[in-house]
Amino acid sequence: MIDETLLIVDDDEVFAEVLARAMNKRFARVCVANTVEQAVGLAGVEKPNKIVLDLKIHQSSGLDIIEKLCSVSPGVAIVMLTGYSSIATTVEAMKLGAINYLCKPVDADELIRAFNEASGEQSSEIPSSPPTVGRLQWEHIQKVLSQNDGNVSATARALGMHRRTLQRRLQKRPVSH
């Protein structure tokens, strides 16, 4: 993969930069875009082979630009990232041209595996067990928190829980799959 170009599209600038540093060892060139406009512009200029695309970019959806990215950079492989997942957005992303769909947090090795699995270099393993109830709860809390733009009080009201209880749960690390 070292001779390829990777474009990372995520409005979380810190996450995007950390991921870019991790991916620099694996790609000849790594570009970062924090807005939809930057993403389309960089894709047209850099012609990346691979794109890591966040589902939610500010007030926009990454789903809305998949086709545009594929048209300005033909043959590009897109892996969609999200802070929460749903079957509907996974199916929609795949229909639009994404090759894989991962839940954050992800590391460089997981992304490389996602690109490799889609290209047939490795076989996909089916998890031996479904996600735990704790993991599903954590993902739901993250989804509602995202919908409330990080407002803990509004999220607690939407979830029907006390704000301090929610704050304690948010301080814990994500539950493993």
| Fold of the 133-171 domain | Arc Repressor Mutant, subunit A (1.10.10)
High-pLDDT (> 70) share of the chain, %: 88
Q: Tell me what pLDDT residue 139 has.
A: 76
Residues of the chain with CATH 3.40.50.2300: 5-118
**Range list for CATH 1.10.10.60 in the chain:** 133-171
State how far the Cα of 125 lies from the Cα of 10, in Å rounded to an integer.
27
- pLDDT of 32 > 70? The answer is yes
User: Which tens digits make up the pLDDT trace of 164-175?
Assistant: 999 888 887 665
Q: What is the mean pLDDT of residues 6-33?
A: 92
pLDDT-wise least confident of 3-17, 27-41, 111-125, 151-165: 111-125
Question: Which class would CATH give 5-118?
Answer: alpha beta
Q: Which two tokens stand for residue 101?
A: 């769909």
Q: What is the mean pLDDT of residues 124-141?
A: 70
For residue 77 the two structure tokens come to 């492989």
Arithmetic mean of pLDDT over the chain = 85
Q: In what order do the strands lie in the sheet with 29-33?
A: 29-33, 5-9, 50-54, 77-82, 100-103
- The DSSP code for 121 is S
Convert the pLDDT of each residue in 65-122 to its tens digit: 999 999 998 889 999 998 777 778 888 888 999 999 998 878 888 899 999 886 655 4
The pTM (predicted TM-score) of the whole model is: 0.68
Average pLDDT rounded to a whole number, residues 138-144: 81
Q: Please give the pLDDT value at position 123.
A: 47
Rounded CA gap, 155 and 143, in Å? 10
